[in-house]
Amino acid sequence: MSSEQHSRLVDGRRHYFRTERLWVLAEGLPIKQVLIDDIAEFDQDCWFDGAGPTCREVAEHARRIQSAKPTL
């Protein structure tokens, strides 16, 4: 899995996290189903910095999703 870093503003401060570390920390947690409508980030631009994705960027993102191999 490639190393990815994401960030989020919490109480006015930017917090960073690494995807690989989240997989490790989540190991053994119960699986919980949630509605898409309950995930605020689903309607936010999380990857394209407001520029809007190109078709190539969408295809590349889909390729990365398909190639992800989480350890469960």
pLDDT in tens, 1-51: 456 787 888 899 998 888 888 888 999 999 999 998 998 878 887 777 778
| Cα separations in angstroms, 66 against 20, 57, 59, 61, 70 | 16, 14, 10, 9, 11
The alpha carbon of residue 41 and the mean position of all alpha carbons in its chain are separated, in whole angstroms, by 9
Residue of 22, 28, 31 lying closest to 68 (CA atoms): 22
Cα(32)–Cα(26) distance, integer angstroms? 12
pTM: 0.41
The alpha carbon of residue 11 and the mean position of all alpha carbons in its chain are separated, in whole angstroms, by 20
